[in-house]
Amino acid sequence: MDTRINKYLSEAGVCSRRAADRLIEEKRVTIDGVLAQTGSRVFEGAVVCVAGKPIVKDAAEPVVIAFNKPAGIVCTAQKKEKNNVIDFIGYPKRIFPVGRLDKDSEGLLLLTNDGELMNRILKASEQHEKEYVVTVDKEVTCDFLKRMEKGVPVLDRITAPCTTKKINSFSFRIILTQGLNRQIRRMCEYFGYHVVKLRRVRIMNIRLDGIKTGTYRELTKEERTKLYKAAGIL
């Protein structure tokens, strides 16, 4: 049985498929000593290397953890970033973040060694709910929240309808089914609000509750089963 090289690297926990394509373009990937090309296939028994280092797919049970990211930590597996999330966590197995949470934001981030799970979640990112608690620099009004819910011009497009709920004079909850770059911050800025604090508290069925800032926990069997079902894997 053969596998496309980008999928092979993703399933091996090296990086996402998109990042794998970049590695291939940079001529850092070989299959049996030959430079891989976009679309190259890996057959059983082949030796795959990245930057000269052999890659072995881990047949162990997939790992999925929920991490409470502090502000200032960067959601990347790139070692050149001194504040990268992988070094900060120090997990004993190779894992990578599922999506991103910008450097200034905090809260729930999922990490896994299961490339297929990550790809399924990211491909269907506009179908899965993510919930945030947002604190802004001036009073939250009903008009502001209603206009946020209807859609806001962001990055040359109108954001999808969302759900909001006022918490107090300066804070509100928002549930998105999109993942545009710095989306909530840009949405607030459009209406003249500046985000003071942004914390993600839920991704799909996984909640931040009980995880202290800077720490993580492994998902329960029930949580993981629900997550895999929602991602279309089970």
Catalytic site positions = 102
Q: How far apart, in whole angstroms, are the C-alpha atoms of residue 68 and residue 214?
A: 5
Identity of the amino acid at 24: I
Strands (E), 53-194: 53-54, 64-69, 96-97, 106-112, 130-136, 153-154, 157-158, 163-168, 171-176
Residue 164: CB atoms within 10 A of its CB come to 19
**Tokens matching residue 181:** 């770059």
Please name every residue paired with 96 in a beta bridge, in sequence order, or none if there are none.
112
Cα–Cα distance, 46 to 226 (Å, whole number)? 34
Task: Tell me how far apart the alpha carbons of residues 107 and 71 are, in angstroms, rounded to a whole number.
Answer: 8
At which residue do the structure tokens 């790139």 appear? 78
Q: What angle do CA 150, 196, 105 make, to 5 degrees?
A: 85
Phi, psi angles (nearest 5°) of residue 8: -60, -50
Is 139 exposed, middle or buried (CB count within 10 Å of its CB: 0-12, 13-18, 19+)?
A: exposed
Tell me if residue 64 falls in helix, strand or coil.
strand
